[in-house]
Amino acid sequence: MDFELGLGLGFAMEERNYDGDHPDLEDQFDDYNDAEHDMLFGQFADNVDSALVQPPTSKRAVDDLLSMMMTIKDHEDNNAPCAVCKDEIGVGEMAKQLPCAHRYHGDCTVPWLRIQNTCPVCRHELPTDDPSYERRKAERAASRI
């Protein structure tokens, strides 16, 4: 019997009847707690819609990012690693700085921002070109006040 595994993983698993020394898997899940499962995966389900509709950063916001030359002080303050590629941004190299002050290689952060509107480290949201998303974001912010 074939069935599709949920959560969009997109691969099929096959249930088989085994002969011999293979234990019955159902006996291994006697302590399985349905309430814990529902609570855990319910949290994922609540966040799926917002994650799927998160638009990229606006072109203007990407174009307006500050370009900063990395200094010895940046290295002393541990501001040199690029969180996207995990490589160090060398002294004298140019980096792009997001509004949250995190810095990245331009070749790393620009492609990231073309698909995401958040900082890879702190998830600070940058503006988008999607008016409905911006309206929902403003409504969420207003409801927190």
Report domain extents, the chain: 59-143
Instruction: Tell me the pTM.
Output: 0.60
Rounded CA-CA distance 70/94 in Å is: 6
pLDDT value for 111: 93
Q: Rounded CA gap, 17 and 24, in Å?
A: 9
Residue 7: pLDDT above 90?
no
| Mean pLDDT within 10-33 | 47
Q: Find, among 17, 35, 36, 37, the residue nearest to 26 by Cα.
A: 17
Residues 37-60: tens digit of each pLDDT = 555 555 444 454 444 468 999 999
**Element of type H or E holding 110:** helix 106-113
Instruction: Write out the CATH class of domain 59-143.
Output: alpha beta
Q: What is the pLDDT of the chain when averaged over all its residues? A: 75
Which residue shows structure tokens 């409905």?
132
> Which helix (H) or strand (E) segment is 2 a member of?
strand 2-4
How much is the pLDDT for 34? 61
